Structure 1
Amino acid sequence: MSEKINRIVLATQKGGVGKSTIATMLASYMYFVKDHSVVVIDADDPQHTIKKLRDRELARFKQDEAMMRAFTESGKSQIYPITESRMDHVFERPAPDRPSTFEKASHPKIAADTVIIDTPGSVAIEGLGNILRNVDRVIIPLEPEEMSLVSATEFLTALGSIGSNQKERPKPIAFWNKVLWRSHEELITAQNEVFRAAGIHVLTNHIPYSVKLKRTETRSTIFPVNFRSIDLSGFMEELYQTTK
């Protein structure tokens, strides 16, 4: 296990912008492509979308020998852990004698070097501030439409108030999702200048609006996602490099 665990959170104050999907994809890319020891904390309470997806997949997996053989062919001997948590228990102990979710995830027996945290689409939930103070990177999905941009700007403003100095604040990484380039190029180009002037790192690659991303196999928490088939190899590599 690395001495320093890389702590990454996906957060916005608007739901439905792709946090859970990207958290799942990033975990898959880091685990299967980059060979990291990954733990996902699903703090999107009470939905727990990622954990429920894992539970459904695992139920099928345990009853299907073909799926078991296919997983063995991936080269991995075990499935990366996913655990659910309340927001205020991710880094804070629920009781003095009970560990936080992060403490459990960082146990030496698990040997995690990366923890990815998914959160609800709101800033008005107890525990988010403490999570943001305890992570290294915060990934912020953007959508090229007015309400999403207003929410993202408000969230980034709130993020700027985290910690007493710049060193205590997580590095913000933004990316554009559900993009129709011909329609959105002008808006995205102009908005990127604003974000970058404010010190926000915006990925060069974006995620296009595509029905391919709605397929079940792009959201697997057990099997490796085929990023080449959904034209996201470049995006995932850039995202990975900025979160290292």
Structure 2
Amino acid sequence: MDTKKKTLFIAFSSQKGGVGKSTFTTLLASTLHYRMGYNVAVFDADFPQYSLSKMKSRDLTMVMENETLKKQAYRQFTVINKKAYPIIQHKADTVLEAAKDFIQSSAVSPDVIFFDLPGTVNSSGILNAIAGMHHIFTPITADRLVMESTLVFTQLLQDVVMKKGETSIETVNLFWNQVDGRENTPLYIIYGQLIKQLDLSLMDSRIKNSTRFRKESEIDSKNIFRSTLLPPDERLMKVCQLDLFVKEFLKIIQL
């Protein structure tokens, strides 16, 4: 009898580049794996960039050259008694099969596998990969081009992929990213109403704009935010309200 528990397949996905897909994949994977006790794996299928795989190499170098972070990493891995989560490169067209093989061969089944997928549905096998996700999270900003691209992408998922029935998708969740706390733009209200009219799901959590999302930790830094080896600093999470997002994220996926 197969006693392995169900592993959730999750992707931060959008047709628009530069909205934070890889960043949120890293932040959530590191929070769940290093701080919350879940077992996580990541498949980097964003060919040819493979940005997460490259990030892990940079993170390893940075931690080894920063005495504060080296001690922090040593304490962390001693306490949690498990390795860093793997980041596995794979082409999008066969990434689902590779992930299932990984689960079967793992001594401990991962609770979540995050997929960093290409940013266009025209990429080889991308629609099939997206259809194999259980939950999709799509960052949006109050920008006309971002919104138009995102709404077309999200409606494609709901009206074509999900209605065909040949899919594992349970939820598709839009969320506001890069929200300027000083700005009270009517665009949020207008687009919020449009999202509701289209019967799409918009998360309550809003991620505040922060330079931390666009900058990896520096060689002399003492606080980590975006890293594949350490969880984001809790104080920095509160500043941009990532802590509230994580709570809502976990409620949605029912982990």
Q: What band does the TM-score fall into relative to the shorter chain?
A: 0.7 to 0.9
Question: Deviations along 1:21-75, whole A, 9 cap, x unmatched?
Answer: 0000110121123211000111111111111000222244467776443223222
The one-letter code of the counterpart of 2:183 is S
Runs in 1 of length 4+ with deviation above 6 angstroms? none
Query: Counterparts of 1:70 and 1:117 in 2: how far apart (Å)?
Result: 27
- SS of 2:206 mapped into structure 1: coil
Give the stretch that moved more between structures: 234-243 or 46-55. Answer: 234-243
State the match for 2:169 in structure 1. 169
More off after superposition, 80-89 vs 189-198: 189-198
Cα distance between partner residues in 2 of 1:188 and 1:30: 29
- Judged with a 3 Å threshold, the aligned counterparts in structure 2 of structure 1 residues 123 and 219 are, in CA distance, closer, same or farther, namely same
Could you list the runs of 5+ residues in structure 2 that have no partner in the other structure?
218-223
Identify if the C-alpha distance between structure 1 residues 184 and 43 changes in structure 2 by more than 3 Å, giving closer, same or farther: farther
**Match of residue 76 from structure 1:** 80
Structure 1 length normalisation: TM-score? Answer: 0.87
2:53: which partner in 1?
51
Which TM-score applies when normalising by structure 2? 0.83
Aligned to 1:153: 151
**Identical amino acids, percent of aligned pairs:** 25
d(CA) in 1 for partners of 2:187, 2:52: 31
Q: Shift in Å at residue 182 of structure 1?
A: 4.6
The AA in structure 2 aligned to 1:233 is D
Distance 2:70 2:80 in 1: 11
Matched, 1:235 2:233: no
Residues 61-70 or 233-242, more deviating: 61-70
Give the match's secondary structure for 1:21. helix
Q: What SS does the aligned partner of 2:173 have?
A: strand
1:222 matched to 2:222: no
Give the drift of 1:110: 4.5
Instruction: Name stretches of at least 5 consecutive residues in structure 1 with no aligned partner.
Output: 93-99
Aligned length: 237
SS in 2 for 1:205: strand
